[in-house]
Amino acid sequence: MNRMILLLAGALAALPALAAPEPLASVVVAELQRKAAAGEPAKPLATPVDADVRFERTATVLPDGTVMYGCRDAGRRDFRISGGRDGAQVQR
Amino acid sequence: MSALPRLLAALLLAAGSLPALAQVLLTPGQSRQFQLPANALSTELAIDVPAGTRQLHLELQTVGNADVDLLLRFGEPFPLNGNAGVFGGLDWLIEHAHYRSISPTGSERITVSRAQHEPVRAGRWHLAVINYAGQPADFSVLATLSQEDPGPAPFTVVFDDQAGCSARGANTFAWFEATAATPVGGNPGTTVGEQRRNAFTRAMEQLRTELPGTAPVRILACWRDLGGTANSATLASAGPTAVYRDDGLNSFSGGPAERALFQLPSLPSLYTWYAGPAIAQRAGTATCRAASGNCNAPDVFIQFNSAVDGSSALGNRRFHYGYDVPAPGGNLDFIATAMHEINHGLGFFGLANTRAEQGPIGEKFRATFNGVPEPDGHNDAYTDELVVVQGNTVAPFNELPLDLRAAALTSGFNLRWADPATVEAPGNVLRPQPFPLNLPPVYAPPNLQPGSTLSHLDPNTYFSEQMGPQIVAGARALGLARPMLQAIGWNSEPLPAPQYARPFGGQWFDPARGNHGLDLIRVSGTADTYILTLYTFDANGLPEWYLAIGRIVDGVFRPGNDANGNSLWRTRYLFGTPPSQEPDTSVPGQIRIDFNQAARAPACNDGTPRTGPLALMTFTLGSDFNLRWCLQAIVPQASRPATDLTGHWAAASQQDGGWGLTTLSYGGNAGSGLFTILYFPDSQGRPRWAAAQTDTFQPGQPQPLFQLQGYCRTCPQPPGGAVPTQIGQLRIAPAANGSGTVEFNATFNGAGSTGSFSRPSIPLTRLGVSSPGG
């Protein structure tokens, strides 16, 4: 066991030293701090529009036995905005 | 309004109180570790891109799970100073991004190629990094450059998401069916499930090779018993899981939740629907990163009919999983079926209504928000490429009224695709024909066929196109669908750098909101900083005015916030010696004016006649949230007289602030008309305005000064407009060199105001000019 630990220690020592993160010059955003304190979503949220539009590929066998491929929609053209900018309903 | 010189001074000196951050240049190919404090942002990072670069790729990866976002902008750095030396706000900063990766995680990616709206080009590209977490975030940033254009779009398929399939009424079982199978048609799979996966992957790979792209597209593939008869069955169905559009920043936070969408600054057309996979290519990142979604969610959903491989549909016919064509024995071409359906999922569809039970035929698509349809229909990228041909008359489909759009959808051959690259494509058999007969017709049979009509090519012209509505043999090449997809978000051709509008200064108004208006004047000595004065009416119809100062960047006037969180504000006049002003925070305000593509905005398509370049103003004042007015110039630049006295004027004395004037020259009877607005305080120090107008202006001539009894910002415009009452007199003598004199007296009438505000003849100085800068 001791030998294993020594080997492991040796292996760790052989690793290149990880660079320490460089601090970036920054601006603390009071708006984020305020939202965090108020429990509000931090981000200006995006709002995708869920789509349930579907196209159907169909096959019909013609009298001569060949197959005719067709395409139509599935009768669903349902799009919903699933959330608002202020975040209360946005699904993540 | 010599408050303005002081405000401008504050603006220009703001750098002293919020210093620009230093620049840390990234080295291509070299990952570096950084740290940001909690709830903080940095605009310090940048990379210099040399000439000849065809792709710039950025990766940001946090250590841990902090939500850190990455923004990218070409040219000038991201700004920090809003107004009065404070940070201008997160929305404001983000609006300056040309590209954004804003997933809810700390794993962000952006790729910029030559084919995107802001194409990669030589120069400095600036990064902004935002740490939303309440603790410091460590992260790495890696920038890489490539001399190659993007290769095949990185599609991925998910076969094993049982939960995702189940949520859509489907399952994954058929992908993993263990029944032994003999390799067929080049497909080496030895189980039925393996052959199915191989065949689907083959379909996806064939599409990828024809569609270059930078951003991942995630396809959820499932099976479901969709039934069928011996002679007819649905083979598969597919579509995108979300559609997107860029309305600019169309709402400010703080108001009630509404139909607000979001900005996707990389999309070519504003106010226009695009399919998710297409917007990913334009944004240079996955949809979940472009629009802050779930990165495990699919962009495209496809399900195949498991009944086809049983005995309940189409008799003994089965899916053919071979790579070869045609499918032997009358079996069904699985690969061609998959390719056709995936194409729809990538964006090959029009959203104009073709189904009577869902609204008027030809209606532009409206999403629902909280169960309520949006009030306005919007164009989609596909129908934007369509024209209606009748004889030699060619009209854009989306510019036609509803009845003509409906007629076009059943017109046979009149509905045509106008994108030049498609017209010139080798697969267009009509190419030798003269214009407009060379334009490819899309499917518009006399009897509407929902889902087939509009969203396919005409089968009588193109017999074997993959995106035909009916076809005997399954096509394995994209054919004309390739240039068509490129026109609706899948572009892979190099684009020039965009040119953004920068307006001439002057007065603007919304003809649907007459008597309200604004003047927007470039500050003398600056390239693109403008003063805005909004003259409007309060809830009682009494005149009031507000101010904003900010830059026009990328065609958008978007002032940053001041210390009170407002970008549109008013001041209270304090009578004294000398007089002074203080911020009046009783009416919070935000404003944004977008000069890009405003003619496409719903507010500009409300039936009100407007002329000339338009602009969309979105603003909030007090409880009037997110009003959207479509502006046009009151006097177009071309109609201004040679001696243009248009400008923004204040007392030359810095001790005499809190009031001012704007002038607007127009032709008038003798080429010397002048419209003047005086901004002044009432006896309570509230900001009020009055107007004077003459067609034959002579410097120093006395003019009656009128107060208007108007109507509130959300009230209907009354017939006849506002009612004028003379409240004083004005003598102004502005000179083209920026000096002048003014003399006035004004007695505001209403709201408990008593007494008058006046000045003897005093010198003026011009603060702003009407030319567009430079």
Reported ipTM: the value is 0.77
Q: What is the C-alpha to C-alpha distance for residues B479 and B276, in angstroms, rounded to an integer?
A: 22
Q: What is the C-alpha to C-alpha distance for residues B764 and B676, in angstroms, rounded to an integer?
A: 14
Interface test with chain B among A52, A54, A89, by most B beta carbons within 10 Å: A54
- CB nearest A22 (choices: B34, B102, B470): B34
User: Among residues B656, B518, B469, which one has the least CA distance to residue B578?
Assistant: B656
Instruction: Map B287-334 to HEC letters.
Output: HHHHCCCCCCCCCEEEEEEHHHHCCCCCCCCCEECCCCCCCHHHCEEH
Q: What is the C-alpha to C-alpha distance for residues B492 and A3, in angstroms, rounded to an integer?
A: 59
Whether the ω angle into residue B326 lies within 30 degrees of 0, i.e. cis, is yes
Stated as kind and residue range, the H or E segment containing B47 is: strand B45-49
User: Among residues B103, B132, B107, which one has the least CA distance to residue B36?
Assistant: B132
Q: What is the C-alpha to C-alpha distance for residues B561 and B660, in angstroms, rounded to an integer?
A: 23
pLDDT at B38: 95
Q: What is the C-alpha to C-alpha distance for residues B655 and B19, in angstroms, rounded to an integer?
A: 29
Q: Classify B275 as helix, strand or coil.
A: strand
Read off the DSSP letter of residue B517.
E
Stated as kind and residue range, the H or E segment containing B276 is: helix B276-283
Please report where in the chains the tokens 């890009």 appear, as a residue: B596
Does residue B536 contact residue B545 with C-beta atoms inside 8 Å? yes
Q: What is the C-alpha to C-alpha distance for residues B384 and B46, in angstroms, rounded to an integer?
A: 37
Whether residue B474 and residue A30 make contact (CB cut-off 8 A), yes or no, is: no
Which amino acid is it at A46? A
- CB nearest B242 (choices: A21, A31, A49): A49
Q: Classify B16 as helix, strand or coil.
A: helix
CA B609 to chain centre: 23
Q: What residue spans of B50-125 are helical by DSSP H?
A: 90-95
Give chain B positions within 8 Å (CB) of A77.
351, 353, 355, 358
pLDDT at A89: 26
Q: What is the C-alpha to C-alpha distance for residues B619 and B550, in angstroms, rounded to an integer?
A: 14
Say how many residues make up chain B: 774
Q: What is the C-alpha to C-alpha distance for residues B581 and B572, in angstroms, rounded to an integer?
A: 5
Whether residue B39 and residue A73 make contact (CB cut-off 8 A), yes or no, is: no
Please report where in the chains the tokens 């349930």 appear, as a residue: A52
Pick out chain B residues at pLDDT < 70: 1-21, 250, 254-262, 369-371, 474, 668-669, 771-774
Q: Classify B679 as helix, strand or coil.
A: strand
- CB nearest A46 (choices: B134, B293, B332): B293
Interface of B with A in 90-109 (CB under 8 A): 90-91, 94, 102, 104
Say how many residues make up chain A: 92
**Other residues' Cβ atoms within 10 Å of the Cβ of residue B303:** 23
Q: What is the C-alpha to C-alpha distance for residues B588 and B363, in angstroms, rounded to an integer?
A: 38
pLDDT at A57: 81
pLDDT at B575: 94
By percentage, how much of chain A surpasses pLDDT 70?
48
Please give, rounded to a whole number of angstroms, the shortest distance from the CA of B525 to a CA of chain A.
29
Does residue B363 contact residue B409 with C-beta atoms inside 8 Å? no
pLDDT at A3: 45
Rg (CA), chain A: 29
Does residue B472 contact residue B336 with C-beta atoms inside 8 Å? no
Stated as kind and residue range, the H or E segment containing B370 is: none
User: Among residues A71, A27, A56, which one has the least CA distance to residue B302?
Assistant: A56
Q: What is the C-alpha to C-alpha distance for residues B487 and A85, in angstroms, rounded to an integer?
A: 30
Whether residue A72 and residue B449 make contact (CB cut-off 8 A), yes or no, is: yes
Partners of B365 in the β-ladder: B378
Partners of A57 in the β-ladder: A71, B236
**Other residues' Cβ atoms within 10 Å of the Cβ of residue B547:** 25
Please give, rounded to a whole number of angstroms, the shortest distance from the CA of B715 to a CA of chain A.
26
- CB nearest B367 (choices: A28, A71, A80): A80
Q: What is the C-alpha to C-alpha distance for residues B736 and B697, in angstroms, rounded to an integer?
A: 14
- The DSSP line for B567-590 is SSBEEEEE-SSS-EEEEETTS-EE
pTM of the model: 0.90
Give chain A positions within 8 Å (CB) of B355.
73, 75, 77
Please give, rounded to a whole number of angstroms, the shortest distance from the CA of B451 to a CA of chain A.
4
Please report where in the chains the tokens 């009577």 appear, as a residue: B356
Half-sphere exposure of B497 (CA within 13 A, CB side): 10
Please report where in the chains the tokens 């040309």 appear, as a residue: B98
Six-digit token string for B485: 């997809």
Whether the ω angle into residue B436 lies within 30 degrees of 0, i.e. cis, is yes
Q: What is the C-alpha to C-alpha distance for residues B85 and B276, in angstroms, rounded to an integer?
A: 39
Q: What residue spans of B122-191 are helical by DSSP H?
A: 162-167
* B276-283 and B334-346 helices, crossing angle to 10°: 60
Please report where in the chains the tokens 């026109």 appear, as a residue: B487
Q: What is the C-alpha to C-alpha distance for residues B663 and B145, in angstroms, rounded to an integer?
A: 51
pLDDT at B362: 95
Q: What is the C-alpha to C-alpha distance for residues B634 and B642, in angstroms, rounded to an integer?
A: 17
Stated as kind and residue range, the H or E segment containing B716 is: none
Q: What is the C-alpha to C-alpha distance for residues B770 and B479, in angstroms, rounded to an integer?
A: 51
Span between the terminal Cα atoms of chain B, in Å: 25
User: Among residues B207, B111, B92, which one has the least CA distance to residue B590?
Assistant: B92
Handedness of CA B412, B413, B415, B419 (dihedral sign): positive
Partners of B236 in the β-ladder: A57, B304
User: Among residues B458, B464, B289, B485, which one has the least CA distance to residue B381?
Assistant: B485
Q: In chain A, count of helices (H) and strands (E)? A: 2, 4
Does residue B766 contact residue B735 with C-beta atoms inside 8 Å? no
Does residue B105 contact residue B137 with C-beta atoms inside 8 Å? no
Whether residue B368 and residue A79 make contact (CB cut-off 8 A), yes or no, is: yes
pLDDT at B262: 61
Closest residue of B to A32, CA-based? B39
Read off the DSSP letter of residue B492.
-
User: Among residues B263, B306, B266, B271, which one has the least CA distance to residue B282?
Assistant: B266
Per-residue pLDDT reduced to its tens digit, B257-274 = 554 556 788 899 998 999
Does residue B731 contact residue B703 with C-beta atoms inside 8 Å? yes
Whether residue B21 and residue A25 make contact (CB cut-off 8 A), yes or no, is: yes
Q: What is the C-alpha to C-alpha distance for residues B243 and B383, in angstroms, rounded to an integer?
A: 14
pLDDT at B254: 67
Partners of B49 in the β-ladder: B123
Task: Please tell me chain B's helix, strand, coil percentages from 3-state DSSP, rounded to the nearest 5.
Answer: 15, 35, 50
Pairing outcome for strands B24-25 and B45-49: parallel
Per-residue pLDDT reduced to its tens digit, A37-74 = 888 777 755 555 666 667 778 888 888 877 788 887 76
Closest residue of A to B17, CA-based? A27
Q: What is the C-alpha to C-alpha distance for residues B469 and B332, in angstroms, rounded to an integer?
A: 16
- CB nearest A55 (choices: B18, B353, B451): B451
Q: What is the C-alpha to C-alpha distance for residues B672 and B606, in angstroms, rounded to an integer?
A: 34
Please give, rounded to a whole number of angstroms, the shortest distance from the CA of A13 to a CA of chain B.
21
